[in-house]
Amino acid sequence: MTREKTFLWYLNHADGTVPWQPEYRVPPSLDHLRGVAAEIDRLGYYGVLCTAREPIALVSATRALRFLIPEYPGVKPPALMAEQAQVFDHYSDGRLIINQVNGADPVLARYGRFEGKDERYRVSAEYWATVRAMYGDDTAAVDGDYFRAGPQYKPAIAGPRQHRLPIWGTGASPAGLAHAAEVLDVYLSFLAQPDALAKTFDAARAAAAAAGRDLPCGVLASVIVRDTDDEAWAHFEWQLARTDPVEMARLADRNLRSFGFGGLDEITSDDPQVQARIDALRAGRLPGRAELEFAPGLASGLTTWTSGEPPFDIAGKGSGNYLIGSPRTVAATIERLSEQVGADHWILSGWPLAAEARRFAEQVIPLLSRELAPR
């Protein structure tokens, strides 16, 4: 039986044919973002992972699109976060989803948060419990381990209110899995080797089951769809050919150090294919398809999910992994992976954002309700 799936798209200021290269980027503007949001809404996507700075300004350009908005727990006071969520739902008719981001030390230090990784999960659990209570108009004072607040003496913000503020997120360490079981409504992971991804999702579902909960899972991936497999791979290689290898090596070194892996000249991998990617960057060139395609129709590539990830997957985080192929190939890959790993949601990106979203919606999604066996 085909597993039911929902599809979300990515929405970010960085757009264009090769958005990680400034010369191929569309000049960022609110009008451009509103146009992309309206097109994604028209195409019928469930929502967008929106990393734009002003998501509430995009609501009026859409009618049904949900907005999955990243938030670092603790950066905003719980009362402010709850009020902002209420306002967003008031204007959007209840279309807000929180993307809980655990964050990295250098990023959070910029916002004045200095907890270690495991403690951040404890902070997050208390934070979102407090935010959810305030979002539901609980007026009691708060006296927790990490957050304190006086009674919430204020008029309730009128408008639609969700029964429970939905929170999606990640976390694969033991502390992260315990946090997921307690806090999250959907567990997310970047696309990875299918066996490894299945193991991650199984661990998240087991932690939730031990807490008496079900936990749907979702995959984040990029996608290139063209009429044939060869055309899709040609576009993937076209983007690589327009990418500056020296800049990618610099970014890889900076980002690896920020995550505590050591620099590009220090990192090694037991996976020969991943080591070949590292060697290529060290030598001042970009890895090619042989070093990037890790399974049929799946490859490590470049993305703008976050500026904090190393270019390509050289640290085992999977943030730039792609689905590549014809509509039939990509649909079959999604169907197979959804069953193999138990994925209920797919959050996808591709560039230019609106054009690739249109290809996927019009050419791939209709195939997912049909027989996908090769002809």
Among the ranges given (170-174, 317-321, 346-350), the one the predictor scored with the smallest mean pLDDT: 317-321
DSSP 369: G
Choose among 24, 33, 64, 74: nearest CA to 51.
33
pLDDT 10s digits, 76-133: 999 999 999 999 999 999 999 999 998 776 777 787 787 788 899 999 999 999 999 9
pLDDT value of position 318: 75
Can you list the pairs that 201-205 forms with residues at least 24 positions away whose Cβ atoms lie under 8 Å?
A: 201/341, 201/342, 201/343, 202/342, 203/172, 203/177, 204/177, 204/180, 205/342
Q: How crowded is the C-beta side of 63, counted as CA atoms within 13 Å?
A: 4
pLDDT value of position 316: 67
pLDDT value of position 120: 93
Residue 261 has pLDDT above 90, yes or no: no
Q: What is the mean pLDDT of residues 148-159?
A: 81
Residue 250 has pLDDT above 80, yes or no: yes
What are the Cα distances from residue 272, in Å, to 197, 199, 202, 261, 290? 19, 22, 27, 18, 11
- Amino acid occupying residue 341: V
Residue 315 has pLDDT above 50, yes or no: yes
Residue 270 has pLDDT above 70, yes or no: yes
In this structure, is the dihedral angle defined by the CA atoms of residues 82, 88, 92 and 98, taken in order, positive or negative?
negative
pLDDT value of position 373: 43
pLDDT 10s digits, 346-363: 999 999 999 999 999 999
What the chain holds in terms of domains, given with CATH numbers, is 6-226+326-369 (3.20.20.30), 231-296+308-314 (no CATH)
pLDDT band for position 307 (50/70/90)? Answer: low
Q: What is the mean pLDDT of residues 267-284?
A: 92
Q: What is the mean pLDDT of residues 290-311?
A: 85
pTM to 2 decimal places: 0.94
Note whether 353 and 8 are within 8 A (CB): no
Q: Tell me how far apart the alpha carbons of residues 28 and 226 are, in angstroms, rounded to a whole number.
A: 26
pLDDT 10s digits, 235-249: 999 999 999 999 999
Among the ranges given (68-72, 201-205, 310-314), the one the predictor scored with the smallest mean pLDDT: 310-314
Q: What is the mean pLDDT of residues 301-329?
A: 83
pLDDT band for position 251 (50/70/90)? Answer: confident
pLDDT 10s digits, 19-68: 999 999 999 999 999 999 999 999 999 999 999 888 999 999 999 999 99
pLDDT band for position 17 (50/70/90)? Answer: very high
